[in-house]
Structure 1
Amino acid sequence: MTTAAFTATAALLLTACGGDDESSPEDIKGAGTGANSPSASKSAPGAADQPNLSLPTDLKVDFDVSEPSEDRHAAALDNAKNYILALNHGITAQDPEDPAYQFYSLGNATKYARTQIQAWVDDEWTATGTDSYYKSRTDDVSDSGGVLVTMCRDQSEFFGKNVKTNKVKRTEPSLNDYQEFRLLMKPPQASQEIWKVLQIEVQGRVKDCSR
């Protein structure tokens, strides 16, 4: 994979409404090449510096993922998960400028999160239920020292709730519930920095993610 080959796809909203869009992001070249890259440990700021990722009691984000054996891959996966938590935090906080997702993202990934949260706010929806992620894998990115994190998503128990009426919009289970998230993680550039999401692709209606 090369960094230039990764094009962010923001066509699919982070929504429980089973979006009908089916994006087709370009093939990510070179992922899994095992190319050597600079080692980056699980460096992270102190707890006081980390943003609030708390969620309402009626919303759960579940990660059933395997811990990578390599420290740098594990650190990249950890903050990919934090970015997803931050997306949900921004939705439930109804704040398109929420500092949580900005802490864990750069560039197009920041724009993607802001756009998704704004869509929920504009439509007067918040989130409820369980947002599930599983079947994770991590691959080296050949030209940047980055890591590509891939996860399946099941949103069959993840629903929108109207912020004014509290009415939950439930959907029937379908292939629309299954997505694949691909997050390009940028390694820390200094001792106090962390892995951040630089680009994100979301592929919809992924049969390999169904369960």
Structure 2
Amino acid sequence: MKCPKCGAELDNDLTAYCSKCGTKITSKSVSRSKKSTINKKVVAVIVVIVIVIICIGLFASSSLTQDSKTTIKGLTFNVPSEFEKINNTNVNLSFEEISYYLYKPSNNTEDILLIGVMDVSGNSVYDVVYDYEMKGMDKKIIDGKEGLISNEYNPITVFYYLEDNKLVAIGVPNYLEDIDKNYSQLIEEVII
């Protein structure tokens, strides 16, 4: 068992206070600490994937994709005709596999479109990412999907929502001047 404040190993399950920082240990604080650690791992993995995808997107070669549908882990998405496929990848983590596809606008090499899916358990996106307010995320409904939106990953905006016990992450450029769309319009096009 670990201290929820400083992360120090506690001597036993009956410890009332952390020997390192003095925090009072309760069953609620330990439970919150475990839930927070799992949640932080999920969000951290998604953030790392988005960063890796941006780097891959800048250097990968691609082939042109016309208006098409793509299926990831049983969920179908629309790929706007303005985007070329860069690649599709599965990342195996110790606790789950994340599948994602990358696209870029055919006339621009800097922006990307990310569609990622990961199996999770939870009744809503708020169960999976319960500390979303601390992470700067806002509640938003796009195309009937209730989820969380995060603008801190500039130059892209990421929309997270749950569907069929899967966490979906759609990362889009904040604004695509060449095709005159904002992030919300592009996310609506991707969601089927």
TM-score, normalisation: structure 2? 0.28
Point out the structure with max Rg over C-alpha.
2
Q: Which has the higher strand share?
A: 2
Higher RCO (Cα < 8 Å, 6 or more apart): 1
How does the TM-score come out when normalised to structure 1?
Answer: 0.26
